Amino acid sequence: MEFTVPQCWQDLELVEKAGIDRVILYGPPGTGKTHAALHRGSSWVERLICTEDLTAGEVTGAWIPVGDGKWSWQDGPALRAWRRGGRLVVDEVDRASGDVLSLLLAMTDTDGSAEWHHPTTGEVVRPVRGFNVVMTTNLEFLAELPDALIDRFPVAIRIDQPHPSGVLHLSPDLRAAAMSGSLPEAPRRVSLRMFTAFDRLRSTMDARQAAEILMGETNAESFLDSLKISTVGL
Amino acid sequence: MAVRVFPELVTGRQDDLSSERWTIEAGRARRGEASCDFVERILQVPVGPSQADRLVRAHELMHVRVSPHDVSPVALYPDVVPRALACAEEFRVNYLVGLLGFDTQELCDGSERRSGEKVAENNDWAEAVYFYVAVLGTGGERPFLLGIGKQQPLWSKTLKVFGKQALAIVTSASASAVSSTQRSASVDAPEGYEQFTVCVARLVHRMAGAQAPENEADVRTLKRSMSPGARRPASGQPATLVFDSSLHYERYAGKVRSEHRRARTVSGTTPRHVERLLTDPYQRIFSRNIHRGSAVVIIDQSGSMDLDVEAVDALLTAAPGCVVIGYSHRPGDSGTQPNAWVVARGGLRASSIPTGNVGNGVDLPVLEWALRQRRNRSRVIWVTDGQVTDSHDHPCEAIARQCADLVRRHQIALCRDTSEASRLLRKGTLSRAKPQNMGRVGRFLTGRSGM
């Protein structure tokens, strides 16, 4: 069975073709936003996973001990992407601390304005042509991000369904359901990851048992009933 | 703890059901408290852990899987009453739920027996048929029949036969055909719906429109009528009057003769008949116009009358100024096809006169309508053979009797054909009325009905 590529993925493809270099992908988890950011459209990709504990040094770079009491400067992912003209993927941006968000404002600024000064050598680094940023977040409403940050990203696409290529590893009977399982809000959402786990589990045990492990006894039967009803007439 | 419901995981449709999230509203495992709203994307289902709740959820999810989602069946199939379509779809959905191994005996809410009793008490045969189809094959079927059978054993017997007929329609096909959501080539609806739900709905419509069985002979008649291609059973009711509003009208050529005369009176402004001072004991020397309403002519254009459009046209020419209405009902039609048309009124006549629809069906309503139209004791003329029928075009004694009562009470003139009506309009009197030639109505008029 072939699936129509959901509109959100068609939009992303058009945006990539147009050469837009600042994109936010947001929406429910488990739809392949990060996967797309990492594997589509850029040969050199640096990934930055934001947490509350992420420091500015982990974004741009820091002095690290190299033994014998010596220290060496090591570029962070943002700076590496700048120097190589690659892609910076900023994952879970909504979880970044205030310091990091401020730094990201500078690192994701338009190419003409962005520059970074090395703290000791004074070297001025500017992003090389080709540098682009994809930010991902599970937020449903982008208003929760700072306006200045959003302003740097002219395109924001809500990804609410997996890409059809993302469900090909599943057994055929689960693919269609996996395409739409991420549509509802939690707790009714069934992500692609959960389908993948279910598919693996049921290859070693009863489907009912597999569903119970993943969703609990109360919801397993309801989950299986929905899949069963899909099969009527097949 | 509420059970999660996953309508988004119900897939397999072939007719482009858009992938949008559903809103789940907590319902109950009771009739009318669970539903599937494709337009608002709301699924109202019980969220409890019981088997009854689970079955109701499965039922509603099956609607998500197979029911029409972007078309209004009522608009697509105007010849079938909406209730018949809805109940037939319930039946198909229940059947498919059962095919998947769900225990459809759990689909009942305990109200079915009382519902059966109530429907039978109210003598509501149509509702008995609708309800029965909706619960056919579920746990509600048996209690409903028991409730019906308590009051109307013959109904229960007939419904069982009917149930077998409905089941035969779906069991004769494969599950993939019954559940198909491929767009039908003929109508913009899922094939499964078009081929099975609508087929059952037509049977339901026909059965619900029939006269309730009152004896074994009626049961046999109804059984026969269920066979494919069989004649519709008698309904015992006239059809609803539906006027053709698409007709175009034109003015009569020449002067329209109005039916008025001058009457002498004792008061006025200008004496016009002075001679009456001598000749009239009341000395009515003044005069005034008395308008007599134009005649109302009703023309039965059913097949048995064998009237052609030219005959009606000739009548119009002979009687300008009259209100002329033709009628003929298509047997079994539920109001989609006009069964009456005003061909002349107020000096206007229809540019083209519709032909009949084979049956009579609306004799009584059209007589009642015509009587409401007459003004100032104008005459009502009924061109008919007296063979009045019900909405399924079966002869009906009760309707014939009511028509005869109207004829007698309102002195409606009966004419066998349009030429006789033309003569009546020209000369003012019938040469010789012959009610004995007027079929069933005539028999009631002459007291020969034997009833």
Interface of A with B in 155-174 (CB under 8 A): 161
Which are the contacts of A145, defined by CB distance < 8 A and separation ≥ 6?
A: A93, A94, A137, A139
Interface of B with A (CB under 8 A): 1, 3-12, 19-22, 24, 49, 54, 57-58, 61-62, 64-66, 96-97, 99-101, 174-180, 192
Mean pLDDT, residues A46-62 taken together? 91
Phi then psi dihedrals of residue B386, to 5 deg = 80, 0
C-alpha gyration radius of chain A: 21
pLDDT of B5 higher than 60: yes
Alpha-carbon span A169 to A171, nearest angstrom: 7
Q: Do B24 and A232 touch (CB under 8 A)?
A: no
Q: Evaluate whether B187 touches B194 at the Cβ level (below 8 Å).
A: yes
Instruction: Give A160→chain B minimum CA distance, Å.
Output: 10
Q: Is B134 left (phi over 0), alpha (psi -120 to 50) or beta?
A: alpha
Interval B88-106 mean pLDDT: 96
Contact B8/A218, CB-based, under 8 Å?
no
Check A226 against B10: CB less than 8 A apart: yes
Residues B200, B264 contacting (CB under 8 angstroms) = no
- Could you tell me how far CA B447 lies from the centroid of its own chain? 31
CA B354, CA B344: separation in Å to the nearest integer? 12
Question: What's the complex ipTM?
Answer: 0.81
Whether A209 and chain B come into contact, CB under 8 Å, resolves to no
Q: Where does the pLDDT of residue B347 fall: very low under 50, low under 70, confident under 90, or very high at 90 and above?
A: confident
DSSP B261: E
CB nearest A230 (choices: B4, B12, B19): B12
Tell whether A221 lies on the interface with B, counting CB pairs under 8 A: yes
Residue with tokens 């007698």: B408
Q: Which two tokens stand for residue B33?
A: 């408290």
**B172-192 pLDDT per residue, tens:** 999 999 999 998 888 889 999
pTM equals 0.79
Determine the residue type at B131. Answer: F
User: Quick check: B398 pLDDT over 60?
Assistant: yes
pLDDT band at B432 (very low <50, low <70, confident <90, very high): low
The pLDDT, as a whole number, for residue B425 is 79
**What integer is the mean pLDDT of A162-178?**
90
pLDDT at B429 over 70: no
Task: Tell me the Ramachandran region of residue B12: left when phi exceeds 0, alpha when psi lies from -120 to 50, beta otherwise.
Answer: left
Q: How much is the pLDDT for B291?
A: 57
User: In this complex, is the C-beta atom of A219 within 8 Å of any C-beta atom belonging to chain B?
Assistant: yes
Contact list in B for residue A180 (CB cut-off 8 A) is: 8-9, 11, 19
The answer to whether the CB atoms of A226 and B3 lie below 8 A apart is no
Q: And the tokens for A231?
A: 């099969």
- What mean pLDDT is reported for chain B? 89
Which of these ranges, A193-197, B173-177, B352-356, has the smallest mean pLDDT?
B352-356
Question: Token digits for B426?
Answer: 């020209």
B44: left (phi over 0), alpha (psi -120 to 50) or beta: beta
B162, B185, B29: which is closest to B107 by C-alpha? B29
Rounded distance between C-alpha atoms, residue A212 and residue A143, angstroms = 37
Which chain A residue shows the shortest CA-CA distance from B181?
A233
Residue with tokens 């459209």: A41
The angle at the Cα of B128, spanning B122 to B132, to the nearest 5 degrees, equals 150
Instruction: Answer whether B390's CB lies under 8 Å from B396's CB.
Output: yes
Local confidence band at B258 (pLDDT 50, 70, 90 cut-offs): low
User: Could you tell me the CA-to-CA distances from B323 to A135, B298, B366 in Å, in that order?
Assistant: 79, 8, 13
CB contact under 8 A, A229 and B6: no
Judging contacts by C-beta atoms under 8 Å, the chain A residues touching residue B61 are 225-226, 229
The reply to whether A181 touches chain B by the CB within 8 Å rule is yes
A140 touching chain B per CB within 8 A: no
CB nearest to A183's CB, from B5, B21, B174: B21
**How confident is the model over B248-261, as a mean pLDDT?**
70
Are the CB atoms for A234 and B179 separated by under 8 Å?
no
Which residue in the block uniquely carries the two structure tokens 């119900």?
B10
**Stretch among B59-73, B145-159, B310-324 having the lowest mean pLDDT:** B310-324
> Chain A residue with minimal CA distance to B4?
A219
pLDDT at A82: 94
Inter-chain contact A226–B4, Cβ cutoff 8 Å? no
The two tokens of residue B207 are 């059965």
- B158 C-beta neighbours (distance < 10 Å), count: 27
Q: pLDDT confidence of A40, banded at 50, 70, 90? A: confident
Contact call for B4 and A215, based on CB within 8 A: yes
Q: What is the DSSP string of chain A?
A: ---PPPHHHHHHHHHHHTT--EEEEESSSSSSHHHHHHHSS-SSEEEEE--TT--THHHHEEEEEEETTEEEEEE-HHHHHHHHT-EEEEETGGG--HHHHHHHHHHTS-TTT--EE-TTT--EE-PPTT-EEEEEE--S-GGGS-HHHHHT-SEEEE--S--GGGGTTS-HHHHHHHHHTTSSPTTS---HHHHHHHHHHHTTS-HHHHHHHHH-HHHHHHHHHHHHHHTTT-
Q: How far apart are CA B413 and CA B298, in angstroms?
A: 10
Helices (H), B122-211: 125-135, 141-151, 153-171, 175-178, 191-192, 198-208
CB B370 within 8 A of CB B296: yes
pLDDT tens readout for residues B200-224: 999 999 999 999 999 998 889 888 8
- CA B286 vs CA A17, A164, B260, B291, B445: distances in Å: 99, 97, 17, 16, 43
A 10 A CB-CB count for A128 gives 13
Find chain A residues with C-beta within 8 A of B96's C-beta: 232-233
Percentage of chain B with pLDDT > 90? 55
Given phi > 0 = left and psi -120 to 50 = alpha, else beta, which region is A233?
Answer: left
Answer yes or no: are the C-beta atoms of B314 and B365 closer than 8 Å.
no
CB contact under 8 A, B8 and A184: yes
- Say whether pLDDT at B369 is over 50: yes
Q: Kindly state the average pLDDT of the residues B214-238.
A: 87
CB–CB contact B176 A234 (8 Å) = yes
**Residue B260 pLDDT level (bands cut at 50, 70, 90):** low
Cβ-contact B30, B111 below 8 angstroms = yes
Residue A120 has pLDDT above 80, yes or no: yes
Which residues in A lie closer than 8 A to residue B57 (C-beta atoms)? 222, 225
Give A45 or B377, the one with higher predicted confidence.
A45
Asked if B49 and A223 come within 8 Å (Cβ–Cβ), the reply is no
Chain-chain contact of A223 with B4 (C-beta, under 8 angstroms): yes
CA distance B44 to A184: 15
